[in-house]
Chain A
C-alpha cells in the first residue's frame, strides 16, 4: 500500500503544470472571449507536440500508454489555470473511448482516423447523453454521440449544431443532434451501455479533478487579495471572519483530493467499484468548488462582483462544471444505491475494495 504519486507521475504533472501556467493566463483567457472560435490553437498545438493528447492512448496506437492516475494531477492543473480548451476531455474522455472501441474490435476505419486526428490536435467531441451540451462543438471535426444505448461516430458535416450561451464566457456550448443510422453505429445494446458507462466515469473524474483545481485557484487569489486589501488600517484578511471563509474551503479541498485519487486508481482496475468511487469524487469536488466560488466572491467584497475581477473566470467555470457529467442528484443517487444494496461491501476493511481481503482473512 502506497497512496502517493510516484516520482515519474510527479515529474510528469510538473511538466504539464509549467506549460499550462505559463500559457494560460487570465488576460489570454479574456482575449479568447472575443474570438470566433474561443480557442487558443497555439496552446493546443503545444500540448499536441508534447504528446499529451495521447497520454492515455497505448503506445502501440501512438500514445504515451499512461493511466488515469497519471492524468489526474494534470486535470487539476487544467482547472487551476481555468484552461478553456477541452484538453481534459480530449485526453481523459474521448481518447480512451476511441481506444475502448478499438480494443473491442468494434466499429470501422473511421475510429482509427478519429483517434489519429485527436492525437494530431483536432477536436473530437464526446456527447454523452447525460450532458445536454457539447463544449466547442462548432470546432470539433468528429463526434462520438449517443442515441439510447447506441454509440455513433460521425464527421462534423453529419451533425446539426445549435449553439447556446453559457454563463461562462470561456465555454462555447451547443446542443448537437444527428440522425442515428447503422452506417455510423459503433456499438449498441449492452456493449454500447458499457462503453457509455465507463465514459461517464472518466468524464466525471476529469471534471472532479478540474473542480478542485478551480477551488484551489480561487483560494489562492483570495488569499492574495485579502492580504493586499486594507480596511480599518489593516489587511481585511486579518479578520477571523475572512480567514474562516477561506479556511472552510481549504478543508473541503483537502478531503476531496484523496477521494479523487482513489477514484482515478479504482476506475482503472475495478469497474464494479468505479461508480461509487467516481460519484464520491464528483460530489465532494463540486461541493468544494461551489463553496469556493461563494466564499471567494464574498472575501473580495464588491470587487468580487465585477466583470473586471479575474475571479469570475474561475467562479463561472465552477458553476458550469459542478453539474456537467452528472449533477449532485445523479451522483448521490449512485452512492445511495450502492449503500443500500443487500450485500453492499461496506466498512473499514473495504476502503480499497475486496483486494484488501484474502480468502483466509475473509473466513
Chain B
C-alpha cells in the first residue's frame, strides 16, 4: 500500500485544475431538464471535448487522454471542486461508452464514440417499460429482424433526458418466442427516427426530466445492434457490474456536497438546532470519505487487473442513502425556510440549490435498481442467503 499520489498524478491534477479554472462557466447553467438548459449543457460538453476532457479514460483517438481509473477519480475531484456543470452526456460517456469499447465493432466505435465525445449526440437509456421496472427481464418491446433492419414496436418509460436527447440505447426483445432474460438484444436507436413518439414526463419538481418513448414500427439498421443478437442481458449485466457500478456516481460529488453541508452547519451553529444535526453532519462527512476510499480501493484493484464482484451492489445503497442524509440534514438546517423554491438572487444566496438536490435525492434509492432490489442481491449473491 502506498497512499501517495505520483508526481505524474499531481501534475495531472494541476493541469485539470488550471483548465477548469479558466473554462468553467461563472454563472450556473439553467437546468438541463429545460430546452434552453439542455443546449447550454451540450455547449459545455463541446467545450470539454475541445480540451480533450470529455472522457479522460478514452484513448486519444476517441477524444480522450488514455487515463487510468485513478486519474479519472482525480479528474472528478477537480470537476466537482470547481463546481462545473452536471454532465448531460453521462449516459453516453459513463454507461454506453464503456460498453461500446468492450463489445462494439471498430466501425461502431468510429461511428458513435467521437459524436458522443463532442456532445453532438446525447444519449438516453431505454431499459424500463411500464411492466418491466424492478423486473427488467419482463421486457416486451420487440425488435424484429427484417433483412438488414430491425423493426421496433413497443414502449419504454422513465427514460432520463429522452425529451431532448438524440439517441436511445436499450434492451429489446429480438426473439419473439423467448422468455425472461433470453432473446434480448442491445440496440441503438436515433430518437428522430420515423415512428417514434416521445412523451415528456414531469418529475417531482415539475420539469420533464424523463419521458415515455413509443415505438411504432421503427426501422433501424442491423448495424445498430451492439454485441450479438440475444446477448443483450449478458452485456447489460457485465457493464452493470463493472464501470457502471463505479462510474455512475463519482465520490467527489458527495464529498463536495458534504463539504457544503459543513459550511451550512457552521453558518447556523449559533442557532438552536435539532441535536441530531450534529451527528448527521459528522456522519455525512465520514460516509462521503468512506465512499471515496472504497472507490479508490476498487479502482486500484481494477488498475492492477482485478475485477469487481457482487460487493458492487453495496455502493448504490451507500451513496444513495448518503445523498438522502446530506440533503435531509440541509433541509433541517434551513428550518422553516427550507420549503422555498428560490426565485430571486437573494433567495438563491440564502438557500442555494438544497431543495432541488433534496428532491432529486428522493429518486436515488429508486433508479439504477431500487435499494430493495440491491439489498436482495447483497443478501442472496454476496451473503449467500436462501432465495426461497
Residues of A within 8 A of B (CB): 130-133, 164-168, 171, 173, 230-232, 236, 239, 241-242, 290, 294, 297-298, 301-302, 304-308, 312, 315, 319-320, 323-324, 327-330, 332-333, 336
Q: Please tell me if the beta carbons of A232 and B134 are within 8 angstroms of each other in the complex.
A: yes
Contacts of B363 in A (CB 8 A): 302, 305
- Pick from A239, A319, A320, A329: contact of B372, CB below 8 A: A239
Q: Which residue of A lies closest to B338 (CB)?
A: A323
Known: A232-B134, A308-B201. A327 touches B339 (CB 8 A): no
Contact of B286 with A by CB under 8 A: no
> Across the interface, which residues of A come within 8 angstroms of B355, CB to CB?
167
Question: Does B134 contact A132, Cβ atoms closer than 8 Å?
Answer: no
Is A306 a contact of B340 with CB atoms below 8 Å? no
A304 to B366, CA, bound (A): 9
A164 to B, closest residue via Cβ: B340
Is the beta-carbon distance between B274 and A319 smaller than 8 angstroms? no
Cβ 8 A contact of A301, one of B206, B338, B370: B370
CA distance A315 to B210 in the complex (A): 20
B337: interface (CB < 8 Å): yes
B362 in the interface (beta carbon within 8 A):
yes
Q: CB of B40 within 8 A of chain A?
A: no
Contact of B203 among A236, A239, A306, A319 (CB under 8 A): A306
Contact with A along B60-78 (1 / 0, CB 8 A): 0000000000000000000
Chain B residues with CB under 8 Å of A232's CB are 134-135, 138
Whether A305 pairs with B362 at a CB distance below 8 angstroms is: yes
Q: Mark B156-200, 1 if CB is under 8 A from A, else 0.
A: 011000000000000000000000000000000000000000000
- Do residues B272 and A166 form an inter-chain contact, with CB atoms below 8 A? no
Interface string of B273-299 (1 = CB under 8 A from A): 111110000000000000000000000
| B332 to chain A: closest residue by CB | A328
- Residue among A166, A232, A323 facing the most chain B CB atoms (10 A cut-off): A323
Contact A166 B366 (CB under 8 A): no
Set B131, B138, B271: member contacting A329, Cβ < 8 A: B271
Known A-B contacts A132-B337, A307-B204, A329-B335; the reply to A298 vs B274 at CB < 8 A is no
B372 touches A305 (CB 8 A): no
In the complex with contacts A241-B372, A305-B203, A165-B341 CB distance below 8 A? yes
Answer whether residue B15 sits at the interface, using C-beta atoms and an 8 A cutoff: no
Would you give the 0/1 interface string for B326-360, flagging 1 where the beta carbon is closer than 8 Å to chain A?
00100110011111110100010000000100010
Residues of A within 8 A of B372 (CB): 239, 241-242, 298
Distance between B130 CB and nearest chain A CB, rounded to angstroms: 10
CB of A8 to closest CB in B, whole Å: 36
Q: Which B residues are CB-close (under 8 A) to A327?
A: 274, 332, 335-336
| A302-B128, A315-B204 known, 8 other contacts, Cβ within 8 Å | A164-B340, A166-B340, A166-B341, A171-B339, A239-B372, A323-B336, A327-B332, A332-B274
* Chain A residues positioned under 8 Å from B251 (CB to CB): none
Contacts A166-B340, A305-B204, A329-B277 given; indicate if A231 touches B138 (C-beta within 8 A).
yes
A171 to B274, CA, bound (A): 25
- The CA-CA distance from A278 to B129 in the complex, in Å, is 47
User: A324 contacts which chain B residues (CB < 8 A)?
Assistant: 336
Partner of B339, one of A130, A290, A305, A323: A323
- With a cutoff of 8 Å between Cβ atoms, the chain B residues found around residue A312 in the complex are 204
| CB-nearest residue of chain B to A239 | B372
Q: Do A164 and B347 touch across chains, with their CB atoms under 8 A apart? A: yes
Cα-based distance from A142 to B276 in the complex (angstroms): 39
Assess whether B365 is interfacial by the CB under 8 Å rule. Answer: yes
Chain A residues whose C-beta falls within 8 Å of the C-beta of B83 in the assembled complex:
none
Is residue B117 within 8 Å, beta carbon to beta carbon, of the partner chain?
A: no
Rank and list the top 3 A-B pairs by shortest CB-CB distance, nearest first. A307-B202, A328-B274, A241-B372
List which B365-388 residues lie within 8 A (CB) of chain A. 365-367, 370-372, 375-376
Cβ contacts A to B, 29 pairs, < 8 Å: A132-B337, A133-B336, A165-B340, A167-B339, A168-B339, A171-B339, A231-B134, A232-B134, A241-B375, A241-B376, A297-B362, A298-B370, A302-B128, A302-B133, A302-B158, A302-B366, A302-B367, A306-B202, A307-B202, A315-B204, A319-B338, A327-B332, A328-B274, A328-B332, A329-B273, A329-B277, A330-B272, A332-B274, A332-B275
